[in-house]
Structure 1
Amino acid sequence: MHDYIKERAVQIGRYLVEKRQTVRAVAKAFGVSKSTVHKDLTERLPEIDAELARQVKEILEYHKAIRHLRGGEATRNKYRRDGTEGV
């Protein structure tokens, strides 16, 4: 694995732990795809820094556990903005 990939994986991991943002938000902040962020965090980071990978895993599991709530909230907000609530 190239050094810049290792460095990016660690930077993304630290950023996620610090900001506690979603994979999508982290990908946007770093200018890479969601797939790249996910691969960096789940496959590459454990080989580089096990403790940071453990912290990241906790956050990713939390986001996975509440994603159905985020989706429901997004839909609710969409219909409130459109003025079609209750349709």
Structure 2
Amino acid sequence: MKKDIEKRTLLAAELLIRYNSTVRKVAKVLGVSKSTVHNDLTYRLNKINKWLYKQVRAILEKNKQERHIRGGEATKKKYSAKKEQLVSKNSGII
């Protein structure tokens, strides 16, 4: 495996563990796609460092179990913002 890929994989694992982050956030910080980070953390890391892989796996499983909650919160926030815009827009009419 190339050294730059190995470095990126270890950095992604460190970021995920240290900040208890998501794949999406790690990808944004590293400037790569979510698919790349996911492949780094699920396939490559297992070959590089099994101990780190086990820690990352636990965080990824927790994130997977919580994703429906985060999705619901995002949808609620989206429609609350739309409702506030509509109310403020209509309050200028009266």
Structure of greater Rg:
2
1:7-59 CA-to-partner distances (Å, cap 9, x unmatched) read: 11011101100011111110000000000000000000010010101000000
State the number of aligned residues.
84
Report whether the alignment pairs 1:42 with 2:33. no
5+ long unaligned stretches in structure 2: 85-94
TM-score normalised to structure 1 length: 0.93
Matches of 2:17 and 2:34, distance apart in 1: 16
Query: Counterparts in 2 of 1:39-78, with a 5 A limit?
Result: 39-78=39-78
Show the 5 A alignment for 1:5-24: 5-24=5-24
**In 2: Cα distance, 1:50 partner to 1:33 partner:** 23
SS of the residue corresponding to residue 21 of structure 2 reads coil
Q: Structure 2: which amino acid aligns with 1:42?
A: T
The Cα RMSD (Å) is 0.9
Report the Cα distance in structure 2 between the residues aligned to 1:21 and 1:40, rounded to whole angstroms. Answer: 15
TM-score, length basis structure 2: 0.87
Q: What residue ranges of structure 1 are gaps of 5+ in the alignment? A: none
